[in-house]
Structure 1
Amino acid sequence: MARAFLVPASLRYLDQVARSGSIQKAAKELNIAASAIDRQILLLEQELDVELFERLPRGMRLTAAGDALVTLARRWRGDERRVAAEIKQLQGMDQGHIRLVAMDSHANGFLPRFVERLAAEQPRISLEVEIASPDDAVTALLAGSADIAAIFNLTPRRDVHVHWSADLPFGCVVAPNHPLAKAETVSLQEVVAHPIALQSRALMIRRYLDARYGWLFADPQKALVTNSLQLVKQLARGGRYVAFTSELDAASELAAGQLRFLPVRDKSVEPQSVSIAIDAKKPLSRIGGIIMNLLTSEIQSSLQSARKADASRVSNMRDEGMSAS
């Protein structure tokens, strides 16, 4: 049976042209004649008495009015998908589509296992995953382009409802052969005595460090800066560098014994956090609830595995130290 659309064709075409950058590309994506898309956009502009796109030699660029209308169109399309999912649920089927926004570090952590588990347990639920910064994740939720977000260090706000949250001790990771690896905790002074693999200011943890502990980076020769968390972890695994990150960011490497997590014991440091959140103004569908519960379970499992493996290594190192003495 053909799918019934509740959102007008003109708004769907407008959205696709905005995504594709041109009418010709949008026509190919939608498998619709370019003239039909062009006609619908022209009619919209006539009805609203405003230009929605700037016509450029190499494509189309949204005007301010066009951007506002595309935001509305995407919100309506999100509502359309939610209504369709609710109708399926009324028919007794756990079927629908969920858009999840998550952090870059999640892509190499719990997300692959979550996706596999969802496919096995809920094959009728389709998933769309976008990787974004914490700020952009909140924007996506409130703009209606995401249904659920997994966000680091989410600031409390009335328009975002937190389904689940967990504190993550502030700390750093080192290789098992690093000079600090046998410690149970470290101070910032101890860390700064070693080369640091540092995340760029695009990431929340770096902004936190800059705001509170800018003195850590007074010697630029001691820090390598990158916007790649994967490179940061690889450098730490090499044995030379210390990297500030969370247990969840490095959960896979901790569970595999490739890195050790060392909480920073300075009294002034604050824990980081990970949260699963939705737009507070929108009701949570049954499908959304299934996704959030699975996501929560997978994050908790990832943290438990990392902490159990790390605690076991600490115990082994203690035993080895007692034997040597």
Structure 2
Amino acid sequence: MLPPGLRCFLAVAQAGSMREAAQRLRLAQSAISRRIQQLEEDLGVQLLERGARGVALTPAGEILLHHGREATHLTERLRADLDALRGVRRGHVVLRLVESFAACGLASALASFRTAYPAVTLDIAVVGSAAILAGLHERTCHLGIAFNPPADPEVEVLASAAEPLAVMLAPHHKLAGAATLTLAELAGMPLVAPSHLGSSRALFDTACRAARVPIRPVLETNSAHVAAGFVADGKGVAVMVPRVLALHLEQGKVKAVPLADPLLNGSRIALLARRGRRLPAAAEALSASLARVLEQAA
């Protein structure tokens, strides 16, 4: 319901380039460029500075971006009101989530949701917790599932569950029979840790400093498959969220041993939405399905 020129401008502002915006909107770059040029002529200002490395917003573009996001929010509220009148028949929901829930939990939530609302389309991507919070702030996603999100006055926690880190190791590993393990017991072992891009790595590093245990991972990765292969071959151990390796745990290729550390045991995974934002009916329905899965995990 947004004017075509404004819709194209918002897509370019979010993507940072005409090319990526064209892919998202499934339009030719030339068509997007023409619509934005027409919008600039109508408004009498330059909105974008075009360069070899992409585009940047002018001061006028920054102002339009703010008002454009507000217009998008109002459009969503209108659709939510109309959807409430006729029930959830259609809609489009944008969800951003961490890999652990994508690996274990998402399929169950989507199965029940898709059965009830087959006409609703979804945009789901795995990103880091910081990107999820940014997306909620900027209203580029309806819902987010993040690991250990910090308190944020603009973000509401709709549901949560415990998400402790654990030691992942091969079933034949010498420590596989332990009831719990300490960080000190992992010192000196070949260890896999999440990459610095994730919130779980920041938590792990904080716990090591608090315990005064100098652990330097031999491998850092954001890939569950890389970590599972390293661990299953008995080359070392990994400290990560067990949910990430749920399939490998079910198949018996790896084993999870709890960590006796209050910091690492107190982490949580949370379903988030922007506070005060009225979600479309389709997003509300997906939120309920995701919340049920988290409550079952809790």
Under a length normalisation based on structure 1, what TM-score does the superposition of the two structures give? 0.77
Q: Does residue 289 of structure 2 align to residue 258 of structure 1?
A: no
Q: Does residue 188 of structure 2 align to residue 190 of structure 1?
A: no
What CA distance in whole angstroms lies between the structure 2 residues aligned with 1:72 and 1:237? 52
Counterpart residue type for residue 30 of structure 1: L
Q: Does the CA-based 8 Å contact 2:163-2:269 persist in structure 1?
A: yes
Query: What is the match of residue 88 of structure 1?
Result: 83
Give the Å deviation of 1:17.
Answer: 3.8
Give the Å deviation of 1:134.
Answer: 0.7
Query: What is the match of residue 30 of structure 1?
Result: 27
Give the Å deviation of 1:242.
Answer: 1.2
What CA distance in whole angstroms lies between the structure 2 residues aligned with 1:87 and 1:274? 32
Unaligned runs of 5+ in 2: none
Tell me which of 148, 152, 159 is aligned to 1:153: 148
Deviations 1:65-91 (A, max 9, x none): 424533542453354245224313302
Over 3 Å counting, the alpha-carbon distance change for 1:41 and 1:21 in structure 2 is farther
Q: Does the CA-based 8 Å contact 1:98-1:128 persist in structure 2?
A: yes
Tell me which of 92, 116, 132 is aligned to 1:97: 92
Q: Does the CA-based 8 Å contact 1:187-1:266 persist in structure 2?
A: yes
Which has the greater radius of gyration? Answer: 1
Over 3 Å counting, the alpha-carbon distance change for 1:64 and 1:241 in structure 2 is farther
Q: Does residue 237 of structure 2 align to residue 242 of structure 1?
A: yes
Secondary structure of the 1:149 match is strand
Counterpart residue type for residue 295 of structure 1: L
What CA distance in whole angstroms lies between the structure 2 residues aligned with 1:25 and 1:137? 20
Secondary structure of the 1:30 match is coil
Secondary structure of the 2:244 match is coil
Q: How many residues align structurally?
A: 293
Counterpart residue type for residue 9 of structure 2: L
Over 3 Å counting, the alpha-carbon distance change for 1:268 and 1:153 in structure 2 is closer
Secondary structure of the 2:175 match is coil
Q: Does residue 288 of structure 2 align to residue 293 of structure 1?
A: yes
Secondary structure of the 2:162 match is strand
What CA distance in whole angstroms lies between the structure 1 residues aligned with 2:198 and 2:54? 32
Over 3 Å counting, the alpha-carbon distance change for 1:176 and 1:44 in structure 2 is farther
Secondary structure of the 2:171 match is coil
Unaligned runs of 5+ in 1: 305-325
Secondary structure of the 1:162 match is strand
Percent identical pairs in the alignment equals 23
What CA distance in whole angstroms lies between the structure 2 residues aligned with 1:126 and 1:183? 46
Query: What is the match of residue 172 of structure 2?
Result: 177
Counterpart residue type for residue 237 of structure 2: V
Structure-to-structure mapping, 1:24-103, within 5 angstroms: 26=22, 29-30=26-27, 33=31, 36-43=34-41, 46=44, 49=45, 51-57=46-52, 60-63=55-58, 65-103=60-98
Q: Does the CA-based 8 Å contact 1:45-1:52 persist in structure 2?
A: no
Q: Does the CA-based 8 Å contact 2:180-2:257 persist in structure 1?
A: yes
Q: Does residue 252 of structure 2 align to residue 277 of structure 1?
A: no
Give the Å deviation of 1:264.
Answer: 1.0
Q: Does the CA-based 8 Å contact 2:69-2:139 persist in structure 1?
A: yes
Under a length normalisation based on structure 2, what TM-score does the superposition of the two structures give? 0.84
Q: Does the CA-based 8 Å contact 1:20-1:26 persist in structure 2?
A: no
Deviates more, 1:27-36 or 1:138-147: 27-36
Query: What is the match of residue 209 of structure 1?
Result: 204
Secondary structure of the 2:26 match is helix
